Structure 1
Amino acid sequence: MRFKQLDLNLLVALDNLLALQSVSAAAERMNMSQSAMSNALTRLRTYFDDQLLVQVGRRMELTPRAVSMQAPVRDILVRIEATIDTAPEFDPLGADREFSILLSDYSLTVLMPRVFALAHEIGANVRFRLVPQTAHPYQLLEKGEADILIAPESYVSEDHPYERLYIDEYVCVVWSESPLAGQPITRDAFAKAGHAIMVPPNSAGSLEAEMLARLGFERRVEVRSFSFSTLPFLVVGTNRIATVHRQVADMAAQHLPLDIQPLPFPADPLVQTMQWHSYRDADPGISWLRELILEAAKGLKPIDPENIPDR
């Protein structure tokens, strides 16, 4: 099919070439031969009268024309995909569909086991692909690379609908035999103690670190982990403190010798949300998944509107 003499089949090839900036990688993603993808690129260059991808040293870079086309082409394909995927109704028992969920290891630990258990309970015939959160997670949502984003409210985009799931608070966890255990941790003790912290491996921000920075706290960091859920394990047998979510602390305390104490200063709670692309607002499959996630979140700490700051 052609539109203004452009073979519309080439749009998918163009989208992958612009995203990956590699003929071989684009060919692999589309299950094409490299020669076929090279031929597609040649046809695209002829149509647009632009090189689109140029060799610079050992890598290929986008031309200014290609950069200007990247977002519009992706937007067009997301709209088409949303239209195709939106069936009149969705039956999770007879479906053959994979949902992509963008989330942090915190949500993976706290929320997703409940989601999977509910899906299993009703016999849902669906698959899940869990994608690690990035520095700007809503961008992957806008590109159509994720169906649902689960993230703190401060990380979601104003351009797409979202819904609050639950709140969680931050607490201190220490080894039960640490001198810090058994009594409230003071601001002075918090400042002098060694800390185990989480540093995201993919340039994503840490809400907990941002919060402490705003409050003017500089911790003496002795351990850096790439996972929030590991922090309680890493303080056992030491005198260190880890600042984690209450949900993570309570789960870890069921298996580890830990003492949980409140933070020695006031802190905003975590407001956990889920977001989806506005084009998929009427997708029955996405609607079903949203309801499933909401039901799973009910077993966690409920939302108290008075405790949630305005965004």
Structure 2
Amino acid sequence: MRFNKLDLNLLVALDAMLAERSVSRAAERLHVSQSTMSSSLTRLRTYFEDELLVQVGRKLELTPRAETLKEAVRDVLSRVDTAIATQPQFDPTQSDREFRMFVSDYTLVTLMPHLLALARRQSSTVRFQLSPLPQMDRPQRALERGDADLLVIPRNYCSREHPAEVLFEEEFNCVVWSGSRFAHAGELTLDQYVAAGHVVTQPTGTDQPTLESWFMQRHGIVRRVEVTTYSFVAAPFVVIGTECIATVHGRLARLAQRSQPLKLHALPVPMPRMEQAMQWHKYRTHDPGLVWLRGLLHEAAWLMDAEQTAGARPTASRFP
């Protein structure tokens, strides 16, 4: 199909090359030969009268013209995919669809087991691909590139360009080893907190601080960091056998305490609750499959808290 003498199939190739900044990786992504992709690039250069991708040292860089095309091409392809590929109805018991979700390891161990259990209860035949979160400076790029159907991230990281819904709120606790001096010192004071060594989480792929680190910096609280880990889940385990303190999501802290020699303290400084949200592409709000998935996530969040409140997995749901 052509539009203004442009073979629209070339837009798919262009999108891949602009995203990958590599002819060979774009070819792998679209499952075509490198020579086919090189031929597409030649035709695109002719049509746009621009090099689009130029060699700079050992890598390819986008020309100014290519930079202006990048978002526009992705937007066009997202609209086409939404209009054509999305089925008008969705039956989870008959679908072979794979939902691609980007989640942190915190979300992976606290919320996702409930989502998967609910899908099983519905005799769902869908599949889930749970991947690590992309760089947190612009996580919505994963939605715009079509790499993810849904993000589960803190509300303050969500883009204003796409819809989002809060799933639940989260508080933070201080976690210490049950054999440490802080486990037997009564209520943890701010002076003790500041003087202690700390285990701090800094996810890979981003320089942005986590919510609790951002809060501490904003309020001038300087922690003496002894251990930095990339994993939220690992943080409460790392304090065992030490005098360190880890500031951890409350649900994760309570989950770790079930099996490990840990004691939880209230954070000695008032910190706003984190709002954990889900976000999807604005063009896919009415996608029946995503509507089902979003509803399932809300139910999973309710069941997650019902289990922690009751101390055992509930057998009933408040949802029809």
TM-score interval, normalised by the smaller of the two chains: over 0.9
State the distance in 1 between where 2:209 and 2:6 align: 41
Partner of 1:39: 39
Paired amino acid for 1:260: L
Paired amino acid for 1:65: R
Matches within 5 A, 1:264-303: 264-301=268-305
State the distance in 1 between where 2:211 and 2:190 align: 20
Displacement of 1:87 in angstroms is: 1.2
Q: How many residues get paired?
A: 302
Displacement of 1:142 in angstroms is: 2.7
Q: Say which SS state the counterpart of residue 233 (structure 2) adopts.
A: helix
Partner of 2:198: 195
CA contact (8 A) 1:196 1:221 kept: yes
Partner of 1:219: 223
Displacement of 1:128 in angstroms is: 1.3
Deviations 1:114-158 (A, max 9, x none): 111111221211111222222221222233321111111101112
CA contact (8 A) 1:194 1:240 kept: yes
Partner of 1:104: 104
CA contact (8 A) 1:85 1:283 kept: no
Partner of 1:66: 66
Displacement of 1:301 in angstroms is: 4.4
Partner of 2:153: 151
CA contact (8 A) 2:114 2:304 kept: no
Gaps of 5+ in 2: 307-320
State the distance in 2 between where 1:213 and 1:154 align: 16
Deviations 1:91-133 (A, max 9, x none): 1111011111122121112111111111122121111122222
Percent sequence identity is 50
State the distance in 2 between where 1:297 and 1:253 align: 20
TM-score (norm 2): 0.92
State the distance in 2 between where 1:85 and 1:293 align: 23
Deviations 1:72-101 (A, max 9, x none): 000001111111232111011110111111
CA contact (8 A) 1:52 1:63 kept: yes
Q: Say which SS state the counterpart of residue 140 (structure 2) adopts.
A: helix
CA RMSD of aligned residues (A): 1.2
Displacement of 1:54 in angstroms is: 1.0
Paired amino acid for 2:73: V
Deviations 1:20-63 (A, max 9, x none): 11111111111111111111111111111111111112111111
Deviations 1:170-207 (A, max 9, x none): 11000111110131111111011111110111105411
